[in-house]
């Protein structure tokens, strides 16, 4: 088995891009990348070789991301002070609200897709990953990633009017 330093050099960028695509937060992505390789180092003896190492690492990263979301959901609440800071900093609150509503509508549509399609869509739209990178992360071919993305886009366009009435 390869040593962890070599794995880090070879796959850290892929793991970081994956995490950034789902978190949209550079600092958090960096932190979770470090956590991913820490977990990989602790559990590398369990790696059976059933998939590519990049796929295994991205699965560890995904679980680290889920843990982070759960942790934030337990502690997150928007306070009046945060809204006041937003107003004082010159940000347009109405514009922010509208933009957030558009994002929510997109995420609602994405949420209705099957798990694999949803993951491909997130990676492509948020992470700016190539179809080749997406296929590699998910243990599939580039063509599979392209087709899955295209079909997901079609489902979203078709279902847009139906879903928006829910």
* Contact (CB, 8 A) for 143 and 150: no
pLDDT given at position 94: 52
Q: Which domains does the chain have, with CATH numbers?
A: 1-76 (1.10.1740.10), 99-166 (1.10.10.10)
* Contact (CB, 8 A) for 117 and 155: yes
pLDDT given at position 100: 59
Please state the pTM of the whole predicted model. 0.54
* Dist. CA 13–CA 44, nearest whole Å: 19
Give me the numbers of helices (H) and strands (E) for the chain, helices first please: 8, 0
Per-residue pLDDT of the chain (166 residues), as tens digits, is: 457 788 889 989 888 888 887 787 888 989 999 999 999 888 888 888 888 888 888 888 888 888 887 777 665 544 444 444 444 444 444 555 555 566 666 777 777 888 888 888 878 877 667 888 888 888 899 999 999 999 988 888 776 655 444 4
pLDDT given at position 1: 46
pLDDT given at position 77: 47
Secondary structure of 66-116 in the HEC alphabet?
HHHHHHHHHHCCCCHHHHHHHHHCCCCHHHHHHHHHHHHHHHHHHHCCCHH
* Contact (CB, 8 A) for 128 and 29: no
């Amino acid at each position: 088995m390869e040593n962890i330093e070599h794995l880090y050099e070879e796959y850290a960028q892929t793991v970081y891009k994956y995490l950034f695509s789902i978190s949209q937060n550079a600092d958090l992505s960096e932190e979770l990348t470090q956590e991913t390789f820490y977990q990989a180092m602790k559990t590398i003896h369990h790696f059976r070789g059933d998939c590519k190492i990049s796929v295994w690492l991205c699965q560890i990263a995904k679980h680290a991301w889920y843990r982070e979301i759960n942790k934030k959901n337990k502690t997150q609440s928007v306070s009046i002070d945060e809204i006041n800071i937003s107003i004082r900093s010159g940000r347009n609150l109405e514009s922010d609200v509208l933009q957030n509503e558009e994002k929510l509508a997109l995420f609602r549509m994405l949420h209705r897709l099957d798990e694999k399609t949803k993951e491909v869509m997130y990676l492509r739209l948020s992470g700016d990953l190539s179809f080749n990178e997406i296929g590699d992360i998910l243990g599939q071919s580039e063509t599979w990633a392209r087709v899955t993305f295209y079909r997901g886009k079609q489902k979203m366009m078709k279902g847009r009017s139906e879903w928006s009435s829910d």
